[in-house]
Amino acid sequence: MVHQTTFTLSAYRRGFHIITAEVERHIPKLPETGLLHLFIKHTSAGLTLNEDADPTVLMDFESFFNDLAPENQPFVRHTLEGPDDMPAHIKSTLAGSSVTIPITNGRLNLGTWQGIYLCEFRNHARARTFVATVYS
User: Nearest to residue 123, comparing CAs of 40, 10, 11?
Assistant: 11
pTM of the model: 0.96
User: Nearest to residue 124, comparing CAs of 44, 32, 62, 47?
Assistant: 44
pLDDT tens digits for 9-37?
Answer: 999 999 999 999 999 999 989 999 999 99
Q: CA of 50: how far to CAs of 29, 81, 84, in Å?
A: 24, 29, 24
Instruction: Tell me how far apart the alpha carbons of residues 92 and 96 are, in angstroms, rounded to a whole number.
Output: 6
Dihedral sign for Cα 75, 13, 127, 90, please: positive
pLDDT attached to residue 13: 97
- CATH number where 79 lies: 2.60.120.460
pLDDT attached to residue 2: 96
Number of domains the chain contains: 1
Domain of 62, in residue numbers: 2-135
Instruction: Tell me how far apart the alpha carbons of residues 75 and 34 are, in angstroms, rounded to a whole number.
Output: 46
pLDDT tens digits for 60-117?
Answer: 999 999 999 999 999 999 998 999 999 999 999 999 999 999 999 999 999 999 999 9
